[in-house]
Structure 1
Amino acid sequence: MIGRIFAAIFLLPALLFGALTFESNSNREVQIVRAFDLPLSFLNDAKLQKIISKKRKEYQRHGFFKSLDQAYLFIPMIKDSLAHSDVPDEFLFLAMAESGFSIDAYSRKKASGLWQFMPETGRIFGLQINDYVDERKDLLKSTNAALTYLETLHARFNKWYLAAIAYNCGEGRLFRAIKKAGTDDINVLLDEKKRYLPRESRNYIRKIVALTLLAADEDFMINQEYAYLLNRANAYSIAQVEVARGERISRVAKLINMPTYKLASLNRHLNYDFVPPHDKKYTIYIPYVKLNEFRQNYKPAPLETFYMLHSVESGENLSRIGKKYRVPYKMIKEFNRLHSNVLRIGQKLVIPVSKPLDLKNGKYIVKRGDSLEAIARNFETTVSSLKKLNNLQGNLIRVGDRLSIYD
């Protein structure tokens, strides 16, 4: 047992930093500030030390890995992307500063995802944001987009700490600050009296450096829950698999014997319980340990086998059919690859009847118009199972009720 614990200690820096190892504290600190192109004197910055002290106390109370809990599902994927980019490994903690490593993070300014992309910036760097997906929440695509963005910022400002600051406040805002200050020297830009940069941006680079220094602090990390989480990371590494157009996440989950909400949590970029219908195939994420089961059990199936099939009647059009099933008519059109809105009597249409993935930690919040029957059908369970799990005597449910879906 003791041997495994010490093994975990030495695995931790490799997982978080790649080539960095637990040497002396001073050597690690030098490596980190150099990675950001910062002067060594930055380690003496009073506000940086204050943030480190505050975070150290916070994490000693609540645990450093509480913030990393979800991240340990996909840190290996982020590290692999970093290894294939020019961005220093230390920028892993930019994601922690941006979102607390939460895929679902959403700001008042409409930034979303692990790397907190604004919609327009996300689209510029190739992320799809539409009725079907919000790829700002896609683990791999958002990470690659963020790294490309950071490489672009570094090419413009020529220093990694400037790229990080620009990521926070925008290129134009940083350019004006440098012009006004007459230099890109970090000590000048962070001047508290001159305020060349917004307060948030002044503390932003300090926060990223502080988090990186804490994660590289051997004495600090030894007292954290590293062994459990490292083992969990190994068990829950992520694999990419291709599924057919319109495939349902709930069906894939059933085929690989895991709860739908857990598979959905790896694919938060999907707005519905199905992948987009545009292309023949679509890539989703599954736990690596489920890869063999997927390969053995998954076979594409005709859409009508797990969606509703509608026969067009006299007087019906796409709009009327969409209202009947509470599905946008454009979605019906795309699922059936229709080139026009013209329908013929008797024509068969696949209707993607599926609500958004509203499960969080296995709970579903009841909405207006819901019934136990509809909820059971949507999540491929039974009314009796829902009643048993939620101690319901009858079929009455109320808007706002939180229902357990899976045992």
Structure 2
Amino acid sequence: MIGKKISLAFSVLLSVSAFSQDVLKADLQIRPDVKISYLDSVKNSFVKDDNAARVDSLWMQELTSLDIYDDLTKDIQTINTDLTVDEELPTDLLKQRLLAMNQKSPFEIEYNQGLENIIKSFLKNRKKSFSRLMSLSEYYFPIFEEAFARQNVPLEIKYLAVVESALNPKAVSRMGATGIWQFMYGTGKQYALKIDSYIDERSDPLKSTLACSEYMSKMYSIFGNWELVLASYNSGPGNVTKAIRRSGGKTKYWDIRNHLPKETQGYVPAFLATMYLFEYHKEHGITPTRAVVKHFETDTVQIKNQMSFKQIADLLDMPQAQIQLLNPSYKLNVVPFYESEAHYLRLPKDKIATFISNEEQIYAYANYDSQHKGLPRQLALKVAPKNREKLESTISTSTQFYKIKKGDNLGAIADKYNVSVLDLKKWNNLKTNAIALGKTLKIKSKNEVVLKAPKEIKAVPVIDKKEEAIAAADDKEEPGTINVEYVVASGDNLGSIAKKFNTSIAELKELNNLSSNTIGMGKTLIVSKSVPVVEEPHKELNTAIASNSIDNFKKKQPSAKEDIEYYVKKGDSLYSISKKYPGVTISDIKKWNDIKDGELKPGMKLKING
């Protein structure tokens, strides 16, 4: 009896061991060993900060969206203060509230029918916009208040930034006024704001606010009335002086209003209406949307070498959009380095800690990455003139279509497809930045062959993605482009997949429109969007580029005699897979892989014999 039990236990042990080995083999088949890239090796050496916080992507889109700016600008220019608006707000109650505001403000806030009409118009048409603006104000208003307090400028002037730019540092008017405070080029220079090819400090919230407070102080010393200071900020002190003369020497805004330019006539009332809505938003059911990052949760670090936003985003595992949001004055998404000047990068405090703790590795990677970028196309054509026709023939303009989803805006869509907002508006005949849910946008792009310089560091792997590339060939979004896809297997997470395919978690989420780090088993992820790349030579650059023609590139593709490995994706069938390979039948695939009907599962590796 005891012998039988021992025998039974031994046989169970053997079967469990055999089963474990089978599972291990299958797991090894699904997860091929991939070399670690230089980027990952640098990041693996970082001192980790476990308190990392991520900015909500939807909130970042709100910060960079221009649609509110367009709407408010249009309202201020076209609103008719003499037109009565039907909106529930008793006049007596409004008078009481305006009186309460006037008692604690240096502005002369008086009730009049025109102001009531604008307040009601904003309540009727812009409630949603003000909910978003109040979220943005949690980041920007502390910056404004600190700067104004230094110059003894009324803190209420902060509401003027809502009227000027809808709190968007990237806002540009039709006349070229730029930034949160909408400075023209000449005015920006007058107040010592730096403007060059890399930098435009009119878009820097802190520096432009200091310039604004200086202007306000100067104008108040001239007019002695804050409403007239606002009017001069909009139309210039000359127009205000003319209006005073035409009114017979009156010095109150409402007395000279009809003598001011048309846009300025709605400007000060819009400012006062904005102040009212911020003060009494709860009473009107306006709930600010959640703001994840506040200004005091960020800090700056001085940059010792030129770095691109892409390099910083890859190293710190954060979206480029977040870096753009916090550093709007860098025009080319690059923090430059000038010998005689200090340039600063603003980041969330947890990312600052990671940056400072690992500066040496970060600068080493940025330097390496900058030296090993692909040659610009025009330079490549000069270096290899014999290939000019072939290179030029590889450039093709393709059109994609994107259906607008909830939470989308033109800025986010333009960033996703690496195009400009102006191009999107031009291609789709849009007059404003407002876009309707469900509308389909046309997006044009250019694809071209990339020529790269020789490699010098062997730490960067060349990952064999033959099976993924071929599997995705039928699903490609653009002519000449291949989406490399991966089927999520048991035990996978975004971090392990990012390592496997030499990318970052942020890029995976962007490519697949993921709002969280959670992924389900069997889900197909896009891990790379790539164009055909001429293999990198190891000899002299001129000779190498001349030899790397399109024909040579084609010759390096898998030959008919090579075996190909294919990973089964969700939705695949033996029939659909056989159609991907000319001359291959369902029976062939079954024979080569010893499988029967019904055994096809996502993640399974198939061998396709030549």
In structure 2, the CA distance between the partners of 1:169 and 1:69, relative to structure 1 (3 Å rule), is same
Are 1:116 and 2:168 an aligned pair?
no
- Aligned residue identity for 1:296: S
How far, CA to CA, are the matches of 1:120 and 1:145 in structure 2? 13
**Corresponding residue for residue 274 of structure 1:** 334
How far, CA to CA, are the matches of 1:359 and 1:383 in structure 2? 35
**Corresponding residue for residue 224 of structure 1:** 286
**Corresponding residue for residue 207 of structure 1:** 270
Instruction: Assess if the C-alpha contact under 8 Å between 2:99 and 2:110 holds in 1.
Output: no
How far, CA to CA, are the matches of 1:30 and 1:277 in structure 2? 48
Instruction: Assess if the C-alpha contact under 8 Å between 2:377 and 2:450 holds in 1.
Output: no
In structure 2, the CA distance between the partners of 1:124 and 1:281, relative to structure 1 (3 Å rule), is same
Q: Secondary structure at the match of 1:239?
A: strand
How far, CA to CA, are the matches of 1:264 and 1:81 in structure 2? 22
Q: 1:360 aligns with which of 403, 412, 418?
A: 412
CA shift, 1:260, in A, is 1.6
**Corresponding residue for residue 261 of structure 1:** 321
Are 1:102 and 2:168 an aligned pair?
yes
- Aligned residue identity for 1:44: Y
How far, CA to CA, are the matches of 1:383 and 1:197 in structure 2? 69
With normalisation by structure 1, the TM-score equals: 0.67
How far, CA to CA, are the matches of 1:392 and 1:170 in structure 2? 60
Are 1:393 and 2:475 an aligned pair?
yes
How far, CA to CA, are the matches of 2:131 and 2:119 in structure 1? 16
How far, CA to CA, are the matches of 1:383 and 1:269 in structure 2? 40
- Aligned residue identity for 2:268: I
Q: Secondary structure at the match of 2:263?
A: helix
- Aligned residue identity for 1:260: Q
Q: 1:171 aligns with which of 231, 237, 245?
A: 237
**Corresponding residue for residue 56 of structure 1:** 123
The runs of 5 or more residues in structure 1 that have no matched partner are 1-23, 311-320, 327-357, 375-381
Are 1:183 and 2:250 an aligned pair?
yes
**Corresponding residue for residue 351 of structure 1:** none
With normalisation by structure 2, the TM-score equals: 0.46
How far, CA to CA, are the matches of 2:153 and 2:281 in structure 1? 24
In structure 2, the CA distance between the partners of 1:160 and 1:215, relative to structure 1 (3 Å rule), is same
Instruction: Assess if the C-alpha contact under 8 Å between 1:101 and 1:114 holds in 2.
Output: yes
In structure 2, the CA distance between the partners of 1:185 and 1:263, relative to structure 1 (3 Å rule), is same
CA shift, 1:118, in A, is 0.8
How far, CA to CA, are the matches of 2:113 and 2:123 in structure 1? 15
Are 1:67 and 2:133 an aligned pair?
yes
Aligned Cα root-mean-square deviation (Å): 3.7
Are 1:89 and 2:150 an aligned pair?
no
Are 1:47 and 2:109 an aligned pair?
no
CA shift, 1:187, in A, is 2.7
In the comparison of the two structures, how many residue pairs are matched? 318
In structure 2, the CA distance between the partners of 1:218 and 1:248, relative to structure 1 (3 Å rule), is closer
Deviation track 1:102-139 (CA, whole Å, cap 9, x = no partner) reads 12211111111111111111111111222111211112
In structure 2, the CA distance between the partners of 1:372 and 1:115, relative to structure 1 (3 Å rule), is farther
Deviation track 1:83-110 (CA, whole Å, cap 9, x = no partner) reads 3222111111100001111122111111
Q: Secondary structure at the match of 1:244?
A: coil
Instruction: Assess if the C-alpha contact under 8 Å between 2:143 and 2:206 holds in 1.
Output: yes
CA shift, 1:373, in A, is 6.5
**Corresponding residue for residue 346 of structure 1:** none
How far, CA to CA, are the matches of 1:113 and 1:392 in structure 2? 45
Instruction: Assess if the C-alpha contact under 8 Å between 2:98 and 2:110 holds in 1.
Output: no
Instruction: Assess if the C-alpha contact under 8 Å between 2:115 and 2:269 holds in 1.
Output: yes
- Aligned residue identity for 2:344: T
Deviation track 1:25-68 (CA, whole Å, cap 9, x = no partner) reads 46642235x422x2xxx5222111111111122344x2522234
How far, CA to CA, are the matches of 1:124 and 1:278 in structure 2? 22
**Corresponding residue for residue 346 of structure 2:** 285
Q: Secondary structure at the match of 1:205?
A: helix
- Aligned residue identity for 1:264: Q
- Aligned residue identity for 1:184: T
Are 1:294 and 2:390 an aligned pair?
no
Q: Secondary structure at the match of 1:271?
A: coil
Q: Secondary structure at the match of 1:272?
A: coil
The runs of 5 or more residues in structure 2 that have no matched partner are 1-95, 382-409, 420-443, 452-462, 482-508, 515-610
CA shift, 1:254, in A, is 3.1
CA shift, 1:255, in A, is 3.4
CA shift, 1:292, in A, is 2.4
